[in-house]
Amino acid sequence: MINYTTDQDIAIITWEMTSSPMNVLNDESIPQFDAALQRAFADESVKGLIISSTKPEFVAGADLKMILRSNDKPPAEMLKVTSELNRIFRTIETSGKPTVAAINGTALGGGYEICLACHHRVALNNPKTVIGLVEVTIGLLPGAGGTQRLPRMLGIQAALPLILEGKKVGVQEAKNLGMIDDIADSPVEMMDKARAWIDANEKPLKPWDEIDRKTGKIVGKDNFKVPGGNVQSPVGAQTFSAGTAMLMDKTKGNYPAPLEVMACVYEGLQVNIDRALMIEARHFVKVATSKVAKNLIQTMFLGMNEANKGASRPKDQAKTDVKKLGILGAGLMGAGIAYVSAQAGIEVVLKDVSVEAAEKGKDYSRTLLQKGVERGKVDPQKVDGTLNLIKPTANAQDLQGCDLIIEAVFENRELKAQVTKEAEPMLAPVGLNVLGSNTSTLPISGLAQASAKAENFIGIHFFSPVDKMMLVEIIMGKQTSDYALAVAIDFTRKIRKTPIVVNDSRGFYTSRCFGTYSGEGMELLKDGVNPILIENGGKDAGMPVGPLAVTDEVALDLVYKIAGQGIKDGAIGEDDISYQVAKKFVDLGRLGKKSKAGFYEYADDRSKKLWPGLQDLFPQTAQQPTLDEVKTRLLYRQAIEAVRCFEENVVRTKLDADLGSILGWGFPAYTGGAISFVDFVGVDTFVKTLDRLADQYGERFRPTEALRERAGAKTLV
């Protein structure tokens, strides 16, 4: 609902949507907002307007479900919505009545575009408020004037990075950057400041507007000078040419939105604002109807929200709350888990073999908190309180009363069994009573044998570095109960991570699929492909690092150890490529990045170059494949493994599979994730391409029967 009230001669329009959790621009609110504005413009007793909200946020942006609905429809429909918004926002600017945005809370995307259309912006000083044009992060661009008004206000050099990076800033930074004009310390002061501005500015005119001599109406000025220089100025020209090249290199053409932003700003700033808005609308429709935007919105925004709310949580289980957490092992992972848990207000008992080792684990939190303070991300007053939540110890008795204990000792079955037996009796008998293992490779059902309560034993697999990686892969052992799953998911949500749920299997879901990326890199080497081409293929496909570089990071002795275990368990044969290559490298003492020698050679200045000796081990063939073929092999190899995991019920839902692939091992987000990738390329194309790859390179590519049956379908699931 959009409320309309007047306070003497000022109209106050307040957003208070009841039909959605947040204030958003959608089919319902847009006409209501328009009607409220028209009422104020038409009322002669109203001399100015204040736009605000009664909810915690100002306006969070456009309703992405609305955008998704239009994604499948003809572009003309999307253009209609965009043009309508532009018309409404432009009337704010040209009505002749001063309009102030009283920004009481977060204003993102379309929400901030409302503010930009206003003549003045005053924000309430609230540490939770964020402001920005975040559209590119979901494959869109600001389509309601943002790409045109912000550069006209701040200049090209200041505005472009904000739009291209989709940066969200706090109130003070927004003021420093010029994104808002004033800050108020209380809601009353905010409204007072808004009123005072209206009183002092009778007929405001934006610098890019002028009054038409004939009609007396406000129209866009033709020769508006952009602050700091327009697009043809030396600074402007340099920004656009260097920026475009940089973006091409960064996005590899996989993400169209940033380049469209560049084009949009470049073209728009050369004409008056009215024409510029039409240009922007055209570019907006182009990205908003793209498959990439659809994928990003579906998986990275709506899907992630769903997962964060606990989509995979068993519905019949009562809500649980971990207040006291035990962690066994204060190494890299244990220390990271302690940090994120204490940050969420959980009391942590951090146990290692000695107090010194446990203290060292706690020091990790101290360092991260200090860094956070330096960067303005952590409130200095909260540092001690957070640190006090972590109790380092070498005494298992201190674990008494923990709701949940997570084991993160060395990857060794016997040791894990021993610490499980030691810690389990310490769990609060009336508390939640769950034990989790952070193992990255050992099957959970096997580890659960050491537990007296296998139904309460579960895998809680974090990724390194824990504070940065959003994903937690929760692994159900054969006996794990829904109760334990609920506890693990509730805990994951409390520490603000994204959970996915998988069933026990070798490598679980993420490591199993990730292994195929690294493995296919080695297959390509074996086939005589130039290693530069292999690495570029990975990066061009949208993976964060090439397959050989990432294998170096994992370490070849670890790959060798895991593959060796796979052979022992009968899961793979000795001809397995990862085993063969890793063995060769371990024999040569080239263990990867940690030994400064692997597929690459690492210099002291942190630079790296491919090891020339690769040529002797894997002679290159005269006939090299195209970059596209390398990309196809790398992406399809991961996607078919994800499909197999899905069919085998290793991963339980499409959403978990997609999110796990993007957040867990860096599968490119523009595809929507490793399962959505199949729809992205088309099921039929996927199957045909796999058959061709299988014929050419090996059976590992061969589509499954179930997949073949779906070949004619529009979507895989």
Residues carrying an active site annotation = 461
Which residue in the set 104, 299, 438, 653 belongs to the binding site for ligand NAI (CB under 6 A)? 438
Three-class SS of 117-142? HCCEEEEECCCCCCEECCHHHHCCCC
> Binder to ligand NAI among 329, 537, 546, 592 (CB under 6 A)?
329
Closer to ligand NAI at the Cβ: 359 or 411? Answer: 411
Closest CA to 322 of 250, 257, 389: 389
Query: Which DSSP category does 671 fall into?
Result: G
Q: Which residues of 383-412 are buried (b: 16+ CB within 10 A; e: fewer)?
A: beebeebbbbbeebebbebbbbbbbbbeee
DSSP at 529 = -
Number of residues that bind ligand NAI (CB under 6 A): 23
Under the binding rule (CB under 6 A), the answer on residue 352 touching ligand NAI is yes
Instruction: Pick the stretch among 58-66, 404-412, 486-494, 531-539 that binds ligand NAI (CB under 6 A).
Output: 404-412
Choose between 76 and 410: whose C-beta lies nearer to ligand NAI: 410
410 interacts with ligand NAI by CB under 6 A? yes
Binding to ligand NAI by residue 426, rule CB under 6 A?
no
Q: Tell me if the bond preceding 465 is cis, omega within 30° of 0.
A: yes
Using an 8 Å Cβ cutoff, are 227 and 220 in contact? Answer: no
Only segment of 138-146, 434-442, 481-489, 577-585 that touches ligand NAI (CB under 6 A): 434-442
With a CB cutoff of 8 Å and minimum separation 6, the contacts of 711 are 683, 684, 687, 688
- d(CA 210, CA 222) in angstroms, rounded, equals 9
Residue 588 contacts residue 498 (beta carbons within 8 Å): no
Nearest to 680 by CA among 306, 303, 296, 305: 296
Going by their DSSP bridges, the two strands 10-15 and 99-103 should be labelled as: unpaired
Nearer to ligand NAI, 182 or 422 (CB): 422
397 interacts with ligand NAI by CB under 6 A: no
- For ligand NAI, the nearest residue by Cβ is 331
Candidates 102-110, 403-411, 608-616, 683-691 — which segment interacts with ligand NAI by CB under 6 A? Answer: 403-411
Helix (H) or strand (E) holding 477: none
Cβ contacts of 493 within 8 Å, gap of 6 or more? 308, 309, 310, 499
Q: Is position 640 an interface residue for ligand NAI (rule: CB under 6 A)? A: no
Using rule CB under 6 A, residue 419 touches ligand NAI = yes
Does residue number 446 form part of the binding site for ligand NAI (CB under 6 A)?
A: no
Residue among 58 and 364 whose Cβ is closer to ligand NAI? 364
Q: Does 332 bind ligand NAI (CB under 6 A)?
A: yes
As a whole number of Å, the CA-based R_g of the chain is: 28
Minimal distance, residue 495 CB to ligand NAI, in Å:
15
Point out which residues pair with 325 in neighbouring strands: 348, 404
The piece of 73-81, 137-145, 243-251, 437-445 that touches ligand NAI (CB under 6 A) is 437-445
- Contact between 440 and ligand NAI by CB under 6 A: the answer reads yes
**Cβ neighbours of 14 (radius 10 Å):** 19
Query: In the complex, what is the shortest distance from the CB of residue 509 to ligand NAI, in angstroms, rounded to a whole number?
Result: 13
Binding-site member from 178, 331, 446, 682 for ligand NAI (CB under 6 A): 331
What's 296's DSSP letter?
A: I
State how far the Cα of 313 lies from the Cα of 483, in Å rounded to an integer.
Answer: 10
- Nearest approach, Cβ of residue 392 and ligand NAI (Å): 11
Q: Out of 103, 116, 231, 333, which residue is the one contacting ligand NAI (CB under 6 A)? A: 333
Q: Which stretch binds ligand NAI (CB under 6 A): 32-40, 250-258, 296-304, 352-360?
A: 352-360
User: Applying CB under 6 A, which of residues 142, 334, 519, 598 lies at the interface with ligand NAI?
Assistant: 334
Per-residue binder mask for ligand NAI (CB under 6 A), 470-499, x = binder: ------------------------------
Longest dimension (CA), the chain: 88
Q: Secondary structure of 619-652 in the HEC alphabet?
A: CCCCCCCCHHHHHHHHHHHHHHHHHHHHHCCCEC
- Is 328 a binding residue for ligand NAI by CB under 6 A? The answer is yes
For residues 689-708, which are near ligand NAI according to CB under 6 A? none
Of 237-245, 406-414, 470-478, 578-586, the window that binds ligand NAI (rule: CB under 6 A) is: 406-414
Nearer to ligand NAI, 287 or 662 (CB): 662
| Nearest CB to ligand NAI, comparing residues 3 and 400 | 400
Among 274, 411, 467, 553, which residue sits at the site for ligand NAI (rule: CB under 6 A)? 411
User: What separation in angstroms does the CA of 347 have from each of 327, 399, 403, 430, 496?
Assistant: 11, 11, 10, 17, 16
User: 24, 307, 357, 563: which one contacts ligand NAI (CB under 6 A)?
Assistant: 357
- Cβ at position 354, least distance to ligand NAI in Å: 8
Picking from 266, 19, 294, 72, the residue whose alpha carbon sits closest to that of residue 163 is: 266
Handedness of CA 641, 644, 646, 649 (dihedral sign): negative
With respect to ligand NAI, which residue has the nearer C-beta, 234 or 410?
A: 410
Q: Which of 196, 353, 452, 713 binds ligand NAI (CB under 6 A)?
A: 353
Options 188-196, 345-353, 579-587, 596-604: segment touching ligand NAI (CB under 6 A): 345-353
Name residue 579's beta-bridge partners: none
DSSP secondary structure letter of residue 374:
H
Q: What is the C-alpha separation between 169 and 167, in angstroms, rounded?
A: 6
Q: CA of 49: how far to CAs of 24, 38, 354, 436, in Å?
A: 20, 11, 66, 56
Q: Does 351 bind ligand NAI (CB under 6 A)?
A: yes
- Smaller CB separation from ligand NAI, 353 or 571: 353
The residue within the footprint of ligand NAI, chosen from 238, 464, 615, 685 (CB under 6 A), is 464
568: its two tokens = 């022992």
Binding of residue 349 to ligand NAI (CB under 6 A): no
CB 639 within 8 A of CB 674: yes
The least CB distance from residue 5 to ligand NAI, in Å, is 55
- Residues at the contact surface with ligand NAI, assessed by CB under 6 A: 328-334, 351-353, 357, 408-411, 415, 419, 438-440, 462-464
